[in-house]
DNA sequence: GTGAAAGCGCTAACAC
DNA sequence: GTGTTAGCGCTTTCAC
């Protein structure tokens, strides 16, 4: 910086003003300074800057250690949004061990992150307390409770599930089931509650035997695909039973895959014999192609960055909760139930 | 820090020494200081530290903006390895636009990253020059050339492809094809060359008509699954021809999916009528389940972090190239060709 | 073994 | 409109 000052024949203070675009700099001087800057390929030292005016220009992003492409897109969108406001992104991916999460938070706080986004769906509730203790704006996803310094991003599961149920109802389905193999991407109880509520809205009752929940929830990465999962058997029994559902809503893409392979084993075709909707959109869903209820990663990412930015801003009193609405994307795993309007085909969304 | 010093009844200099574990600190004094530190929940300001001794404790990680779960695992492993050495990770995900990449690099250099890992497979070659210009240790993946400051991580495609070819040869396949739909995950020419070489090692000749390369390479995220891809038609024609291959090696999981759906359309069963091997391991591969040639993301990540760390170390003259060997993981998309040893089944690797 | 003081690169308050 | 100066939190000589 000093060399820039010398080269432009001014003092470092003026250089600082020019760099920060303060209006109190003479046009000609400014031009000389910028010339010197580019000549010397100078760029200001962020650390010195951070030291003097507090902020580091860094945002922390904590994501679950999970093979879900949703996370990948979230990372990308977050970084993009953060960069748009001049922030850098410090990343950390964690398992569900509370201590690990706590460490990750501490590392980011230690690096003077100006905000933290904890995009972990299934982590322990202690995160929030941890975050509240530190004085740093933060945003959490898919959590309950009231929190002084944080903003909550809530997924409107009901909205999403309802879209799925209504789509099926309109197609003519009256026997709709629900399957979940793990609680990874959202709390299963919330989804089930939404499911029964949406069902009753459409004048249907949830049949308990059509709701297949896996108790021994396993993470996909530790799940051996060759092993016969007990959940698989349960689904197979349900479909092979004498009064099977004609459609199933699944809590995740991997759950949907389970259902579809169970269907294949009992000689049911999708969507002719069984319509399947997945909540969430892992890569396989695009290829299968699976009708899904999606949470937009970029929407989540932008909301997160916005929430962090709004936190500190004087004058604004931002709502401490932001609701994200999943949307239904029609692909070709849903159709009319057997026997009704065979020749009609539902509209398939080509825009995705 | 000053308050810690006061509380411990020493000067800031001594606190600094204690924090940095310098041996010239009295045991008792040190204990008092650490006590004060934990009482006050003090942690040193990284920026001040970075300001005075140059290093920032930050590593930059640049990844392609791509929905590939490989990248996700790479990010996780990189962060883990970096954290193991006390580094924080600055992330940026970029498209293939050279300018965007150049910006990302600049941002990280501006933040005083102590090293940079550019984990982009298909980016422009200008990255290397860009990186060479800045004086910062870096590591690039899957690239050619000699570079003063950088380390190259090379994927041994030949090793991987050879394993696939040999596996097929041992099963009894003599008519082996190759398909690629895009060059995203590795340079197609290198793969094709490896393919023909491995084939001739096994005493087979590469039949040009069995090598299907898509010229109009499209990124998966922009590819509409409903559209009939010209590549799809080419594969279909190949399989429906009078002299089809009995096995196909695909340059990516998505290419393998193309091949498998083409096979389904011409009523060929996998693996009975057609064995399929994918290079790379997108999520679908685990579910299908697809025999694949894998690059271990954690191996790549660790190699990258090691390369960066070794760069500066005095006394060591680290090799400027590290070779990563893909390994073959057997799942159930490969089998004996029709008519030979029908009743035998290949061993399927359950350990994955 | 410990303290005082200089200085890392920058910004902001204050003079001119 | 621009220069001077103090100080952000830390490390590191150099005395003691």
Q: Which residues contact A221 (CB under 8 A, 6 or more apart)?
A: A66, A67
Q: How many CB atoms lie within 10 A of CB B134?
A: 15
The Cα B191–Cα B172 span in angstroms is 22
To the nearest whole percent, how much of chain A has pLDDT over 70? Answer: 85
Residue A249: beta bridge partners? A178, A277
Q: Residue B226 has what pLDDT?
A: 47
Pairing of strands B176-180, B211-213: parallel
Among candidates B48, B106, B107 on the partner chain, residue whose Cβ is nearest the Cβ of A51: B48
Task: Tell me the H-state helices in B41-97.
Answer: 46-53, 69-84
Highest mean pLDDT, choosing among A7-16, A117-126, B250-259, B280-289: A7-16
Helix axes B27-40, B12-19, angle to 10 degrees: 90
Which residue from B298, B302, B293 is spatially nearest to B329, judged by alpha carbons? B293
- Comparing A217-221, A290-294, B18-22, B44-48, the range with the smallest average pLDDT is A217-221
Average pLDDT estimate for A16-25: 91
Least confident of A233-237, A283-287, B8-12: A283-287
pLDDT band at residue B332 under the 50/70/90 scheme? confident
Chain C bases closer than 7 angstroms to a protein Cβ: 1-5, 7-13
pLDDT at A105: 94
Lookup: tokens for B299: 């191996």
Q: Which of A44-48, A117-121, B308-312 has the lowest mean pLDDT?
A: B308-312
pLDDT confidence of residue B146: 73
Q: What's the pLDDT tens digit per position in A27-71?
A: 999 999 999 999 999 999 999 999 998 889 999 999 999 888 889
Measured distance between the N- and C-terminal CA atoms of chain A, rounded to whole angstroms: 49
Give B102's pLDDT tier (boundaries 50, 70, 90): very high
pLDDT at residue B132, as a whole number = 83
Asked whether the bond before A332 is cis by omega within 30 degrees of 0, the reply is no
Of A69, A111, A225, the CB nearest to B69: A69
Residue B215: what pLDDT? 53
B72–A43 C-beta distance less than 8 A: no
Which residue is nearest nucleotide D3, judged by alpha carbon to C1' distance? Answer: A11
Among residues A48, A58, A129, the alpha carbon closest in space to that of A92 is found at A58
The secondary structure of B281-318 as a DSSP string is --HHHHHTT-EEEE--HHHHHHHHHHHHHHHH-TT---
Work out the angle between the directed axes of helices A230-240 and A253-265 (0-180°, nearest 10): 50
Averaged pLDDT, A312-334: 78
Rounded Cα gap, residues A104 and B138, in angstroms: 25
Residue B76 tokens, joined = 């996780």
State the average pLDDT over residues B114-140. 86
Name the residue among B86, B348, B89, B326 with its Cα closest to residue A93. Answer: B89
Banded model confidence at residue A122, pLDDT cuts 50, 70, 90: confident
Q: Is strand D less than 7 A from the beta carbon of A135?
A: no
Suggest the residue from A43, A111, A221, A332 to mutate for an interface test with chain B (most B CBs closer than 10 A).
Answer: A111
Helix (H) or strand (E) holding A256: helix A253-265
Residue B347 confidence (pLDDT) above 70: no
State residue B196's pLDDT score: 94
Q: Which helix (H) or strand (E) holds A264?
A: helix A253-265
Nearest nt to the CA of B11 via C1' is: C3
Residue A221 pLDDT exceeds 50: no
Q: Which of residues 36-95 of B touch strand D (CB under 7 A)?
A: 44-45, 48-49, 51-53
Identify the closest residue of chain A to B43 by CA–CA distance.
A110
Strand order in the sheet with B150-155: A321-324, A150-155, A138-141, A115-118, A58-64, A88-94, B88-94, B58-64, B115-118, B138-141, B150-155, B321-324
Rg (CA), chain B: 26
> CA-CA distance, A224 to A82, in Å (whole number)?
37
- Asked if residue B164 has pLDDT above 50, the reply is yes
Strand C CB-contacts below 7 Å: A 1-2, 12-13, 16, 19-20, 42, 44-45, 48-49, 51-53; B 9-14, 17, 24-26, 28-30, 48, 51-52
Compute the mean pLDDT over every residue in chain B, rounded to the nearest whole number. 85
For residue A223, is pLDDT > 80?
no
The predicted pLDDT at position A149 comes to 74
Q: CA-CA distance, A313 to B215, in Å (whole number)? A: 51
Pairwise CB contact (< 8 Å): B79 & A90: no
> In angstroms, how far is CA B320 from the centroid of its own chain?
18
> What is the per-residue pLDDT for B314?
47
Residue B311 pLDDT class (50, 70, 90 cuts)? confident
Which residues 316-345 on chain B approach chain A with CB closer than 8 angstroms?
331
- What DSSP string describes A212-243? EE-SS---GGG--TTS--HHHHHHHHHHHSSS
In the beta sheet, which residues pair with residue B150?
B138
Cα-to-chain-centroid distance, residue A231:
26
pLDDT of residue A160: 95
Interface contact A91-B91, CB threshold 8 A: yes
For β-strands A115-118 and A138-141, DSSP reports them as: parallel
Which among A60, A160, A57, A161 has a CA at the least distance from the CA of A120?
Answer: A60
DSSP B7: H
| Residue in B86, B283, B290, B291 to test binding to A, most A beta-carbons within 10 Å | B283
Mean pLDDT score of chain A, rounded to an integer? 85
Q: Which helix (H) or strand (E) holds B211?
A: strand B211-213
Q: Report strand pairing: B327-329 vs B291-294.
A: antiparallel
In this predicted structure, what is the pLDDT of residue B218? 46
Q: Is the pLDDT of residue A285 over 70?
A: no
Q: How far is the CA of A49 from the C1' of C11 (A)?
A: 8
Rg (chain A; Cα; Å):
26
Residue A160 CA to residue A299 CA, distance in Å, equals 15
B345 neighbors B176 (Cβ within 8 angstroms): no
Please report, rounded to whole angstroms, the spatial distance between the CA atom of protein residue B19 and the C1' atom of nucleotide C7: 20
Q: A71–B71: do the CB atoms touch at under 8 Å?
A: no
């Amino acid at each position: 910086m000093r060399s820039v000052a010398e080269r432009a024949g001014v003092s470092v203070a003026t250089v600082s003003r020019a760099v920060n675009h303060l209006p109190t700099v003479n046009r000609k001087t400014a031009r000389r300074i910028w010339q010197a800057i580019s000549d010397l390929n100078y760029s200001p030292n962020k650390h010195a800057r951070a030291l003097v005016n507090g902020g580091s220009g860094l945002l922390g992003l904590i994501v679950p250690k999970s093979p879900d492409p949703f996370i990948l897109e979230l990372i990308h969108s977050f970084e993009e949004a953060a960069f748009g406001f001049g922030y850098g992104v410090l990343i950390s991916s964690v398992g569900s061990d509370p201590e690990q999460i706590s460490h990750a938070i501490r590392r980011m706080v230690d690096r003077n992150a100006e905000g933290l986004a904890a995009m972990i769906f299934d982590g322990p509730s202690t995160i929030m307390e941890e975050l509240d203790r530190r004085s740093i704006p933060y945003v959490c996803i898919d959590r309950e409770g009231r929190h002084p310094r944080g903003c909550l991003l809530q997924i409107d599961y009901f909205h999403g599930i309802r879209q799925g149920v209504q789509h099926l109802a309109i197609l003519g389905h009256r026997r709709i089931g629900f399957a979940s193999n793990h609680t990874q991407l959202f709390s299963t109880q919330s989804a089930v509650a939404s499911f029964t509520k949406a069902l009753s809205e459409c004048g249907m009752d949830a049949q308990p035997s059509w709701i297949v929940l896996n108790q021994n929830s396993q993470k996909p990465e530790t799940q051996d695909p060759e092993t016969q999962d007990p959940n698989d058997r349960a689904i197979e029994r349900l479909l092979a039973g004498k009064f099977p559902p004609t459609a199933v809503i699944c809590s995740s893409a991997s759950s949907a895959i389970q259902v579809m392979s169970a269907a294949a084993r009992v000689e049911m075709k999708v969507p002719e014999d069984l319509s399947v909707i997945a909540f969430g959109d892992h890569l396989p869903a695009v290829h299968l192609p699976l009708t899904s209820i999606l949470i937009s990663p970029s929407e989540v990412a932008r909301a997160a960055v916005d929430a962090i930015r709004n936190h500190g801003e004087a004058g604004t009193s931002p709502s401490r909760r932001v609701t994200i609405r999943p949307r239904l994307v029609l692909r070709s795993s849903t159709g009319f139930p057997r026997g009704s309007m065979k020749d009609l085909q539902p509209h398939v969304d080509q825009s995705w």
